Amino acid sequence: MTTLTDTGTDDRQQDRRHNLIALDVDGTLVDHEGTMTEEVRDAARAAVGAGHEVIIATGRSLGATLPVIRLLGITRGYAVCSNGGVTLRIDASLPEGFEVIERVTFDPRPALTALRERLPAAKYALEDDRGRFLSTESFQDASFGSEAENVDFEEMLAARAVRVVVFSTDSSAEEFGDAVTSIGLHGVTYSVGWTAWLDIAAAGVTKATALEVLRQRLGTVPELTVAVGDGRNDVEMLRWAARGVAMGQAPDEVRSAASEVTGSVYDDGAAKVLRSLV
């Protein structure tokens, strides 16, 4: 595994052709308080200006992803939201500046029913096939990108889901992870976050699966794919990329999935990777 130096270069001669660069947001482009530094912003804009295909690939839903796209000055291209459940085409000439080109849905009932039985005190939210957020117990999070609509649990079970989120205030991340593992969820893809937080998508859907569709659409050769991330929901993406870079603060299982490790989010680690490509 290679470690980037402070100058943002590694021990390989960088390929100067245009890359497909997939960037996670939280813990990668912004810190855990939601702040993006000028260095990270400017490095990302430099990569866009150099002609690289910069694709935001995030667990955030659409509404919470758009401000990041705008901040980086991306006016054309693609973005992956909801951990691969939603793919956008970005085009400044469109009325809203984007269009949804794919939304992968699933039946949340089996997973929600099993989780509710094992974790009755947890909070639940669901992104449906129209982009709405439905939630229990006034559950709201910045990653939703819209105001969640309070519904009863039965109504949530009847929806078609793009993304389901489960959050527990009564468990540590380890206890929560053990509880989720013991449930044995089937027919979905899921990842446990830094806290007692669970993200669920359709079976087989990850950031990597959505990015591979875009790679083929764009005609980018696999050798020119780059991905940067820090979370367990980035593992497949880091393995997918020819150059998968884990942030310095990433847990061991994420770092082991990467081919390189850069600085932490508080050391502008993503900027070091981006600067090495321009």
Q: What is the predicted pLDDT for the residue at 194?
A: 67
Radius of gyration of the chain (CA): 18
Q: Are residues 146 and 193 in the same domain?
A: yes
Between 17 and 89, where is the model more confident? 89
In this prediction, residues 70-76 reach a mean pLDDT of 95
Last residue of a domain, one of 178, 202, 226: 202
Please report the sign of the dihedral spanned by the C-alpha atoms of residue 247, residue 252, residue 257, residue 259: positive
Give the structural domain span for 233: 2-104+206-275
At 167-220, the pLDDT tens digits run 887 777 777 878 888 888 888 888 877 678 888 999 999 999 999 999 999 999
**What CATH number should be reported for the domain holding residue 271?**
3.40.50.1000
**What CATH number should be reported for the domain holding residue 154?**
3.30.1240.10
At 214-243, the pLDDT tens digits run 999 999 999 999 999 999 999 999 999 999
HEC-encoded secondary structure of 119-150: CCCCEEEEEECCCCEEECCCCCCHHHCCCCEE
Q: Are residues 41 and 166 in the same domain?
A: no
Q: Are residues 230 and 258 in the same domain?
A: yes
Q: Are residues 39 and 82 in the same domain?
A: yes
* Most confident stretch, 112-116, 189-193, 245-249: 245-249
Q: Are residues 235 and 266 in the same domain?
A: yes
Q: Are residues 118 and 236 in the same domain?
A: no
Is the CB of residue 135 less than 8 Å from the CB of residue 122?
no
Q: Are residues 20 and 156 in the same domain?
A: no
Last residue of a domain, one of 155, 187, 202: 202
Residues 6+ apart with CB under 8 A from 13: none
Tally of domains in the chain: 2
> Which element (helix H / strand E) includes 2?
strand 2-3
3-state helix vs strand vs coil in the chain, percent to 5: 35, 25, 40
